């Protein structure tokens, strides 16, 4: 008997990285899951690979667009009849670089993809969860939601903003059977990292290997975090045992964050 039997989950950015690991863990625990991504081919492949049959459904959408965020939550309800777990997970750094050289687009696009997407999907999901008086909202924040790292101002600002949003929403719906939490992973070598980080490293005058070493050096474990570690925390937060945890910014970062 899984810990999430009968639940319906929606995972943004669910075809790869943390989202994919979360989606797989949710399915393993008995949930039906909608995974989102921008690319229909990658989506079809992810659904195939996950092997969850009818319990996994892909909905394409760009999470930096409000219409797609709203449509994803509605699409989840249309397909599986309800939404119990929203995992607002999509995100990354668009054209990272030092503040002095950062374009308006780099800041705005990063905020849309990380922060606005979390707000849009959360608002839409709460519209279903408040009447049913139950739900779990999980946001993928980051260790960068608790500290600053040079060259990542847009990402750092967006993740800090997500943490504030999570704490506020948690206080608003705390008595309605709905919890709202953020997980704050340390650096993980996901596709997003291998795609985005080399540019960030270059902007900071270092190699990608230097950048990874910088992240692991700041931790206690001196290695990077892995997506499976995050998925297990998400299962706990989504399960009945997580009912008493809300407004929390859970660090899964090998001892990196200062608080």
Partner 1 sequence: MGKLDGKVAAITGGTRSIGRGMADAFLAEGAVVVVNGRSDEKGRRCLDEMGAGDNAVFCKGDASVQADVEGMVDFAVEHYGQLDICCLNSGGVENTAPVAMMTDEEWRLEMDWNLNQVFWGMRRALQHMMPRETGRIIVTSSVEGKLGKPGIPGYTAAKHAVNGLVKSAAHEVGTMGITVNAILPGLTETDTLREKGPGSAEAMGLESYDALVELFTQGSAIKRPNRVSEVAAVAVLLASAAGRNITGALFPVDGGTMPY
> Does residue number 170 form part of the binding site for partner 1 (CB under 8 A)?
yes
Out of 81, 104, 175, 217, name the contact with partner 1 by CB under 8 A: 175
> Does residue number 220 form part of the binding site for partner 1 (CB under 8 A)?
yes
> Does residue number 243 form part of the binding site for partner 1 (CB under 8 A)?
yes
DSSP label at residue 188: B
For helices 208-217 and 191-203, the axis angle rounded to 10 degrees is 100
Q: Which residues in 51-80 contact partner 1 (CB under 8 A)?
A: none
- Dist CA 115 CA 92 (whole Å): 10
State phi, psi for 83 to the nearest 5 degrees: -140, 120
- Dist CA 250 CA 259 (whole Å): 10
Closest CA to 85 of 30, 160, 158: 30
> Does residue number 247 form part of the binding site for partner 1 (CB under 8 A)?
yes
Structure tokens at 83: 């939404």
- Dist CA 137 CA 135 (whole Å): 7
Residue 155 falls in the annotated catalytic set:
yes
Q: What is the DSSP string of 106-127?
A: HHHHHHIIIIIHHHHHHHHHHH
Active-site pick, 64, 155, 219, 248 = 155
> Does residue number 98 form part of the binding site for partner 1 (CB under 8 A)?
no
> Does residue number 30 form part of the binding site for partner 1 (CB under 8 A)?
no
Nearer to partner 1 by Cβ, of 34 and 162: the residue is 162
Count the Cβ atoms, other than its own, within 10 Å of residue 157: 19
Active-site pick, 141, 142, 248, 251 = 141
Q: Residue written as tokens 């270092």?
A: 206
H or E stretch at 150: none
> Does residue number 4 form part of the binding site for partner 1 (CB under 8 A)?
no
> Does residue number 239 form part of the binding site for partner 1 (CB under 8 A)?
yes
Nearest approach in angstroms of CB 111 to partner 1 is: 22
Nearest approach in angstroms of CB 68 to partner 1 is: 30
> Does residue number 248 form part of the binding site for partner 1 (CB under 8 A)?
yes
Active site residues: 141, 155, 159
Binding site for partner 1 (CB under 8 A): 167, 170-175, 179, 186, 219-223, 225-226, 228-229, 232-233, 236, 239, 241-255, 259
């Amino acid at each position: 008997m899984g810990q999430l039997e009968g639940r319906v989950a929606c995972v943004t950015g669910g075809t790869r990285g943390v989202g994919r690991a979360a989606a797989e863990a949710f399915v393993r625990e008995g949930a039906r899951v909608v995974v989102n991504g921008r690319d229909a081919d990658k989506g079809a492949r992810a659904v195939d690979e996950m092997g969850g049959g009818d319990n996994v459904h892909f909905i394409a959408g760009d999470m930096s667009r409000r219409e797609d965020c709203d449509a994803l939550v509605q699409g989840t309800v249309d397909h599986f009849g309800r939404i119990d777990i929203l995992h607002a997970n999509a995100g990354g750094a668009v054209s990272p670089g030092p503040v002095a050289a950062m374009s308006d687009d780099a800041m705005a696009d990063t905020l849309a993809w990380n922060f606005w997407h979390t707000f849009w999907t959360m608002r839409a999901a709460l519209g279903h969860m408040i009447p049913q008086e139950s739900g779990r909202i999980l946001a993928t924040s980051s260790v960068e939601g608790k500290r600053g790292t040079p060259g990542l101002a847009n990402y750092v600002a967006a993740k800090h903003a997500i943490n504030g949003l999570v704490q506020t929403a948690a206080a608003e719906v705390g008595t309605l059977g709905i919890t709202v939490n953020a997980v704050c992973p340390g650096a993980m070598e996901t596709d997003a990292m291998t795609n985005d980080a080399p540019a960030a490293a270059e902007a900071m005058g270092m190699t990608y290997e230097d950048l990874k070493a910088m992240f692991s050096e700041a931790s206690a474990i001196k290695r990077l975090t892995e997506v499976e570690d995050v998925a297990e925390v998400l299962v706990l937060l989504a399960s009945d045992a997580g009912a008493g945890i809300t407004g929390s910014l859970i660090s899964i970062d090998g001892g990196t964050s200062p608080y």
